Structure 1
Amino acid sequence: MSHEQMEVKTPEYVSLQFSLAGLGSRAAAFIIDQTLIMLFNIAFFISVLLVSDKLSSYTTFFEGSTVGIAIVIIVIFIVNYGYFFFLEFFTGGRTLGKKIVGIRVIQDNGHSITLLSSFIRNIMRLIDALPTGYFLGIIMVFFHSKHKRLGDLVAGTIVVHERKPKRKKKKLTGIEKVIEERGLSKESLGVDEWTLKSFKDKDWKLVKTYASRLQQLPETERYQMTRQIADILLPKIGVDVVGKPEYELENTLLVLYLHLRDEWEYEL
């Protein structure tokens, strides 16, 4: 099945192509997400009623389940909107429904969604849901050239299909050969999503430049550069560089390069 394509030019003048997610795939992901949220709402509502009923036997505070119902309303509101906000930011633009369908939210410039963008696009669900059944959002996605709802327009985001990894083994670059020869992978260094979000574009450019120059420098200069960059970047992931040999620092920086490459660089 073919999808509409969108081309994005990054500030570095690199052209990236994405397949736009249309109404069908977005609706499928939304139905899955809403089903999960509804199951949680029902289970939570029943749990609060049972607990408040038991507590009312000991205190008048919960009589008539007024407090219990108020708690349910507040929590359900937080879950309904917080679910999309937190998952889209902390899991690379993917809710559980989006992950199953194979779509994700990114910014218009091709980068991962930011905390502010996630907050804006999801608080705008209150308007996209008007007058009922997400009617306004459906109409916007159907007629907009890039399948954007109002939340996407305000937040500067777009929903695209995930890139499926090519089965054909591509030719490895020089640094990828080094990483493979050393037996390194992303699993060699555990970095959580929150920590990855703390790295900026300048950090990615620094570690990318380091990886590209690693093989070109004599050993003395290479180790000196490794030490300097390790002092800047590795404390951000909680790695103490004092007393560690340069070869170990090299390996850690190369694994960090793999993590940040998945976050900042989109391969066509």
Structure 2
Amino acid sequence: MKQEQVGIKTPEFVSLQFQLAGLGSRATGFIIDQLILLVVNALIIISLIILFTGEMDLLAYAGTDSLLLGLTIVGLFIINSGYFIALEYFSGGRTIGKRIVGIRAIQENGHSLTLLSSFIRNFLRIVDNLPAGYFLGIMMIYFHPTHKRIGDLVAGTIVVHERKAKRKKKLSPIEKEIIEKGLTKDDFTIDEWALQSLSQKDWNLINTYSNRLMQLPTNERSELTLQMAGLLFPKLGLEIAGKSHLDLENTLLVLYLILKEEWAYEL
């Protein structure tokens, strides 16, 4: 019997509950991605034909140079494969199609995809496409207990529905402080490798810090800020020297906003 919910215990011993994405939502996302790639491929081919033949003549282009034709085929394969690998790695397991549908690919331990896991699950689309029309992949997703295709089995990944962050009717003190400061999660960019180095434990630390901050007197607030920066900044490749307590505090609050989007889910 297929599961619609899956419970995951992270390496930090935190239990998370996810709703699995089934065949319908995964197929919809994949079709959207294929339509996008179809347009991109068509534009590339048309541009190359006009560039090398001076007119819109596919037969003339195919007959110009076998090496050129081979390079075109290889290039399109790299673009089509790279689309899935790059977007899933850099966008938290979401291609454009997945983002529109509201699903994402994650590792079985609940963490974001690594570059290797993204490469494996997408490279094995070749196998899932056998014998044609993605037949094997469709059958695997439909019949597998956790809706996995071959690529998911080998890469150790699952596809789940996005979980929305909790909505609070009343703003907390720290949320009011962040709004008053005019801070947003886009105020600085964290490299993907650095973001993945942070764990649930780090989120718990920054969450506790942020919610305690407004209750502390100025001297204790500055001391706690310096301690938190000393713990988290080295993991992110950020420097502490030369920054004021206000700069450190603002950076930590922006980090709070970024991690909140990743970890503060409604279970």
Q: Which amino acid aligns with 2:120?
A: I
In the TM superposition, residue 261 of structure 1 has moved relative to its aligned partner by 2.6
> Aligned partners of 1:115 and 1:206: how far apart in 2?
27
The residue number in structure 2 matching 1:57 is none
In the TM superposition, residue 218 of structure 1 has moved relative to its aligned partner by 5.3
> Aligned partners of 2:164 and 2:214: how far apart in 1?
30
> Aligned partners of 1:235 and 1:8: how far apart in 2?
29
In the TM superposition, residue 173 of structure 1 has moved relative to its aligned partner by 5.3
Tell me the SS of whatever aligns to 1:13: coil
The residue number in structure 1 matching 2:114 is 114
Q: Which amino acid aligns with 1:22?
A: G
Q: Which moved more, 1:28-37 or 1:227-236?
A: 227-236
The residue number in structure 2 matching 1:47 is 47
Relative distance call for 1:171 and 1:146 in structure 2 (3 A) is: farther
The residue number in structure 2 matching 1:159 is 159
Match status 1:223 vs 2:222: yes
The residue number in structure 1 matching 2:242 is 243
Q: Residues 137-216 of structure 1 correspond to what in structure 2 (within 5 A)? A: 137-164=137-164, 169-170=168-169, 175-176=174-175, 178-180=177-179, 182-187=181-186, 189-192=187-190, 194=192, 196-197=194-195, 199-201=197-199, 203-204=202-203, 206-208=205-207, 210-211=209-210, 214-215=213-214
| Contact 2:87 2:93 survives alignment (8 Å) | yes
| Contact 1:49 1:68 survives alignment (8 Å) | no
Q: Which moved more, 1:71-80 or 1:6-15?
A: 6-15
Relative distance call for 1:196 and 1:170 in structure 2 (3 A) is: farther
In the TM superposition, residue 104 of structure 1 has moved relative to its aligned partner by 0.9
Q: Which moved more, 1:232-241 or 1:134-143?
A: 232-241
Q: Which amino acid aligns with 1:186?
A: K
In the TM superposition, residue 139 of structure 1 has moved relative to its aligned partner by 0.4
Relative distance call for 1:115 and 1:23 in structure 2 (3 A) is: same
> Aligned partners of 1:73 and 1:63: how far apart in 2?
14
| Contact 1:226 1:249 survives alignment (8 Å) | yes
The residue number in structure 2 matching 1:24 is 24
User: What root-mean-square deviation, in Å, do the aligned CA atoms of Structure 1 and Structure 2 show?
Assistant: 2.9
Relative distance call for 1:221 and 1:76 in structure 2 (3 A) is: same
Q: Residues 5-154 of structure 1 correspond to what in structure 2 (within 5 A)? A: 5-53=5-53, 64-154=64-154
Return 5+ residue gaps in structure 1 as ranges. Answer: 55-61
Return 5+ residue gaps in structure 2 as ranges. Answer: 55-61
Q: Which moved more, 1:128-137 or 1:169-178?
A: 169-178
Identity %: 56
TM-score between the two structures when normalised by the length of structure 2: 0.82
In the TM superposition, residue 254 of structure 1 has moved relative to its aligned partner by 1.2
> Aligned partners of 1:267 and 1:116: how far apart in 2?
28
> Aligned partners of 2:175 and 2:32: how far apart in 1?
38
